[in-house]
Amino acid sequence: MLQKQVRSILNKHKQRDGWFLTDYSINPYEGCSCNCLYCYIRGSKYGSNMDEGLVIKSNALEILDKQLHARAKKGQRGFVAVGSATDAYMHHEEKYKLTHEMLKLLLKYRFPVFITTKTTLVLRDIDLLKQIDENAILPSDLRNTVDRGVILSTSISSMDPGIAYILEPRAEPPTERLKTLSQLKNQGFLVGVNAIPILPFISDTHQHLERIIAAAKEFGAHYILVGGLTLFGQQPADSRTLYFNFLRRYDAKLIPKYEALYGTNSFLPKHYLAKLNDTARALCAKYEIRTSILTQHGQLCERNTTDTQGKLF
């Protein structure tokens, strides 16, 4: 694996992420061995480092220690997304353990953590994550609404294992991800499913959405977030190019529909997102699963905003 030195590792958001409640993000690696074809970083400067070109940040722990110390000293704590542009528990983590060591630093400085993963390796760190969950100091405005130091989730775009295998070739099959989530739930963690990205004309039908939401409920998810598909770039390694190549193999008749839906844009139109929102909201109500990490008086807590990645709720 390639290595590089970095000057900064702890990224401060301009504002808190309304979905994931994160104020910061850290990425132990550049690129990701899960190799999801639709990944939003494809089309960015990191897009080609998806497997063979993966990069490890060799001085990340030293820099993170300094940055966490500075933030903690000022009382600037907040949820840290571990792996916002990579899977924190991708296959190389088993060898390099950079995520594991970063979690130790987050525990040291008592920062709360949010992690989304498509692999089972997260189970290795249950004991460490429990310590963070119990000892993290939350931002004052979240203490009465979250009261948890760790939030864990997995992402599901389709319950069809064949589709998942093509689009997410080195991620665990959807059912295995949900089994891992169930194990984490049984260990006492707050867990959820990111149904992101839902695939137009493939997994956005009422029937397929219901399969995802019903499965999330069955395996014990506390919440589910539903979001649309973004398609970036025109280069061979960009997500739009790779996804359209997938469509040619999967069902070429869908290509004109995608071209009409997206046009020259990377994001889905508002009318499409509104319909997806309505369908998901009705199904979540049916299965009594909330559409937000936060709750209001034990009821479904819904948001109707769309950010730059086409998220819903």
**pLDDT tens digits for the chain (313 residues)?**
789 999 999 999 999 999 999 999 999 998 888 989 999 878 655 555 455 568 899 999 999 999 999 999 999 999 999 999 999 999 999 999 999 999 999 999 999 999 999 999 999 999 999 999 999 999 999 998 998 999 999 999 999 999 999 999 999 999 999 999 999 999 999 999 999 999 999 999 999 999 999 999 999 999 999 999 999 999 888 999 999 999 999 999 999 999 999 999 999 999 999 999 999 999 999 999 999 998 753 332 333 333 334 343 3
Which residue has tokens 């979001």? 227
130-134 long-range contacts, Cβ below 8 Å, gap at least 24?
A: 130/187, 130/188, 131/107, 132/103, 132/106, 132/107, 133/188, 133/189
Residue 91 tokens read as 């296959």
User: What percent of the chain is predicted at pLDDT more than 70?
Assistant: 91
Q: Of 177, 243, 193, nearest to 39 (Cα)?
A: 243
β-pairing verdict for 150-155 and 79-82: unpaired
Which pTM value belongs to this model? 0.92
Q: Of 239, 229, 218, nearest to 269 (Cα)?
A: 229
**Euclidean distance between CA atoms 187 and 10, whole angstroms:** 28
Q: Residue 82: which H helix or E strand, with range?
A: strand 79-82
**What integer pLDDT is reported at residue 40 of this predicted model?**
80
**What integer pLDDT is reported at residue 305 of this predicted model?**
33
**What integer pLDDT is reported at residue 82 of this predicted model?**
98
**What integer pLDDT is reported at residue 77 of this predicted model?**
95
**What integer pLDDT is reported at residue 279 of this predicted model?**
97
**What integer pLDDT is reported at residue 52 of this predicted model?**
58
Cis amide prior to 197 (ω within 30 degrees): yes
At 249-282, the pLDDT tens digits run 999 999 999 999 999 999 999 999 999 999 999 9
Please report the domains of the chain, with CATH numbers, ordered by start residue.
Answer: 1-152 (no CATH), 156-230+267-313 (3.40.50)
**What integer pLDDT is reported at residue 300 of this predicted model?**
28
**Euclidean distance between CA atoms 248 and 77, whole angstroms:** 47
At 276-311, the pLDDT tens digits run 999 999 999 999 999 999 875 333 233 333 333 434
Looking at the chain, the number of H-run helices and the number of E-run strands are: 10, 10
Q: Residue 230: which H helix or E strand, with range?
A: none
User: What percent of the chain is predicted at pLDDT more than 90?
Assistant: 82
**Euclidean distance between CA atoms 53 and 40, whole angstroms:** 17
**What integer pLDDT is reported at residue 108 of this predicted model?**
98
